[in-house]
A and B are shown apart, each in its own frame.
Chain A
Amino acid sequence: MNGLDARVPGISPDRPFRGRVTTFGALSWSGFRRYATYRQATIAGSFTNTVFGFLRCYVLLAVAAGAAGGRAAGYDAEQLATFVWVGQGLLTVVSLWGWTELADRIRSGDVAADLLRPVHPVIGYLAPDLGRAAHAMIFRFLPPLTVGALFFDLYAPSRWFTVPLFALSVLLAVIGSFGLRFLVNATAYWLHDARGPITLWVLSAGVLAGLYFPLRFLPDWLAVTLWVGTPFPGLLQTPADVLVERDPAPVQAALVALQALWAAALLGLAAVVQRRAEKRLVAQGG
Chain B
Amino acid sequence: MGELRAYGALFLGQWRSLASYRASFAVDLATNILGAVLDVVAVLVLFGATRTVAGFTLREGLLVVSLSSCGFATADLVVGNIDRLKTYVRTGAMDAVLTRPLGALPQLVLMDMPLRKGLRVAVAVAVLITALRLNHVDWTPARAALVVIAPLSGALFFGAIFVASASLAFWWVESGEVGSAFTYGGRDFTAYPVPVFEGWFRAVFAYGMGFGFVAYQPALTLLEHPDPLGLPAGAGFLSPLVALVAAGVAAVVWRAGIRHYRSTGS
Chain A contact residues, CB within 8 Å of chain B? 40-41, 44-45, 47-48, 51-52, 54-56, 58-60, 62-68, 72-73, 193, 195-196, 199-200, 203, 207, 212-213, 217-218
Contact = CB atoms under 8 A, between A and B. Distances in A.
A68 B51 CA distance: 8
A54 B42 CA distance: 17
A213 B42 contact: yes
Interface string B166-196: 0000001011111011100100110010011
Contacts of B24: 193, 195-196
Given A55-B188, A58-B197, A59-B196, A203 B38 contact: yes
B254 to A, nearest CB: 20
Contact of B45 (A40, A41, A47, A217): A217
Interface of B: 24, 27-28, 31, 34-35, 38, 42, 45-54, 172, 174-178, 180-182, 185, 188-189, 192, 195-198, 201-202
A58 B188 contact: no
A48 B177 CA distance: 6
Contacts of A193: 24
A44 B178 contact: yes
26 contacts: A40-B174, A41-B176, A41-B177, A44-B174, A44-B176, A48-B185, A51-B185, A54-B197, A54-B201, A58-B198, A59-B192, A62-B192, A62-B195, A63-B46, A63-B47, A65-B54, A66-B54, A67-B51, A68-B51, A72-B50, A195-B24, A203-B35, A203-B38, A207-B42, A217-B45, A217-B49
Given A52-B181, A55-B188, A217-B49, A62 B27 contact: no
Given A51-B185, A199-B31, A66 B174 contact: no
A56 B175 CA distance: 23
Contact of A41 (B34, B51, B174): B174
A63 B50 contact: yes
Contact of B31 (A47, A51, A72, A203): A203
B50 A218 contact: no
A193 B188 CA distance: 31
Given A66-B53, A200-B31, A203-B35, A58 B181 contact: no
B54 to A, nearest CB: 5
| Interface of chain A: mostly helix, strand, loop or mixed | helix
B49 A58 contact: no
Nearest to A68: B51
Given A203-B38, A217-B45, A66 B188 contact: no
Contacts of B202: 58
Nearest to B47: A63
Nearest to B173: A40
Among A51, A65, A73: residue with most chain B CB under 10 A: A51
Contacts of A60: 46
A138 B46 CA distance: 31
Given A41-B176, A44-B175, 12 more contacts: A40-B175, A41-B177, A44-B176, A51-B182, A55-B185, A55-B197, A58-B197, A62-B196, A65-B54, A203-B38, A212-B42, A217-B46
Contacts of A65: 54
Contact of A45 (B47, B176, B201): B176
A196 B178 contact: no
- Pairs of residues from A and B, 3 with the lowest C-beta to C-beta distance, nearest first: A40-B174, A44-B176, A196-B27
Contacts of B185: 48, 51-52, 55
Contacts of A73: 49
A99 to B, nearest CB: 15
B197 A48 contact: no
Nearest to B42: A212
A47 B181 contact: yes
Contacts of A55: 185, 188-189, 197
B31 A66 contact: no
A66 B181 CA distance: 27
Contacts of A59: 46, 53, 192, 196
B50 A213 contact: no
A44 B54 CA distance: 31
B211 to A, nearest CB: 11
A199 B27 CA distance: 9
B45 A66 contact: no
Contact of A67 (B28, B49, B175): B49
